[in-house]
Amino acid sequence: MRNGPKRDVAQEITDLILSKIEQGVLPWRRPWMTTGAGGAPLRAGGQRYTGINALYLWAVADGMGYGSRYWMTYRQAQELGGQVRRGEAAHPSIYFNTTSKTETDARTGEESTRHIRFMRSYWVFNATQIDNLPVHFYPNPLPEASPSPSERQAQIDAFFAPIPIEVRHGGNRAFYSPAGDYVQMPLLRSFVSSDHHAATLAHELGHATGAADRLHREFGKRFGDKAYSAEELVAELTAARVCYELGLPAELHDSHASYVEHFVSLMKADKTAIITAAAKAEQAFNFLAQFSGYGLDQEEAGHVTSALPAHA
């Protein structure tokens, strides 16, 4: 199926996302309603893509004008009665696997087993690139208008209220305090809308999930002085996930220009940084969502956690 030189998938993913950012588009914000069917990209069987695959395939769909949420391999398309159109290009979807290597100590003769995690990819097409699939794989027209923000308040309250992390209100700054283990938010009336409040709260709660007694998120030596940027990117992606899950507009949590500069610098320095951040954000969302019973089932959540690179 594929010929020619081996493609550097991690670099391709990073390059596409960097190009979007440099065009002024944060790809984890915009594409959910440009596809004609809001929500995360889906596999042929309807399962969600997660982590970096969700983020990357959003960006591809946005850039290429693909209208469907569904992605599948060439063989899956054929099994469904479809045919990929001539000249259409496949896009990578990644997964992580583990192999074992037995090593012998030259001095003592003792054997030990080392487990090595590695990244692999397979190739998928958007349903928009494929003819003759069942009708549900193709998008419905875009709605004429977005739902009124007030229609989402019940969903906002149901999601956030059970989360057992202290949230304080007052002042003019939003932040997470690691020392006090609380989130500080300005008063609700300080925000343009309750949706903007929810998006900002999701960002700060995203930070809070990294506490030692929660997900114990550390970036350590790998990121060095860029660890701050990596953590901010995780919080950004967590907030973006909350927004699309609750049906909130995608452009709510405006990034400061300095944040975007940090993200660009981070990804240029480490081509797998965005992959790590997306996996960490997936874990953060699942942590927050578990208290309301919202989100992925346990099997999917376990898959997401196990897919995180060991060096992340």
Instruction: Return the number of other C-beta atoms located less than 10 Å from residue 121's C-beta.
Output: 16
**% of residues, the chain, pLDDT over 90:** 39
The whole-number average pLDDT for the span 4-25 is 78
The whole-number average pLDDT for the span 133-152 is 74
Q: Which of 98-112, 121-135, 295-309 has the lowest mean pLDDT?
A: 295-309
pLDDT at 141: 64
pLDDT tens-place string over residues 177-236: 999 999 999 888 888 788 889 999 999 999 999 999 999 998 877 777 788 889 989 999
Give the dihedral of Cα atoms 208, 54, 95, 138; nearest 10 deg: 150
Instruction: Return the number of other C-beta atoms located less than 10 Å from residue 174's C-beta.
Output: 17
If one compares 78 and 20, the residue with the highest pLDDT of the two is 78
Q: Give the H/E segment covering residue 241.
A: helix 227-245
Adjacency order of strands within the sheet including 182-185: 166-169, 182-185, 175-177
If one compares 84 and 26, the residue with the highest pLDDT of the two is 84
- 90 in Cβ contact with 123 (< 8 Å): yes
Q: Which of 35-39, 50-54, 243-247, 279-283 has the lowest mean pLDDT?
A: 35-39
| Residue in 291, 289, 292 with CA at minimum distance from that of residue 304 | 289
pLDDT at 13: 85
What DSSP state is assigned to residue 57?
A: H
pLDDT tens-place string over residues 61-109: 877 878 898 999 999 999 999 999 999 999 999 877 777 777 777 777 7
Whole-number mean pLDDT of the chain? 81
**Is it the case that residue 300 has pLDDT exceeding 80?**
no
* 308 band by pLDDT with thresholds 50, 70 and 90: very low
Q: Give the C-alpha separation, 130 to 213, whole Å.
A: 47
pLDDT at 291: 95
What are the structure tokens assigned to 246, written together?
A: 């609750």
**Is it the case that residue 249 has pLDDT exceeding 50?**
yes
pLDDT at 14: 87
Structural domain boundaries in the chain: 1-145, 148-312
pLDDT at 255: 57
Torsion angles phi and psi, residue 107, rounded to 5: -85, -45
- 117 in Cβ contact with 111 (< 8 Å): no
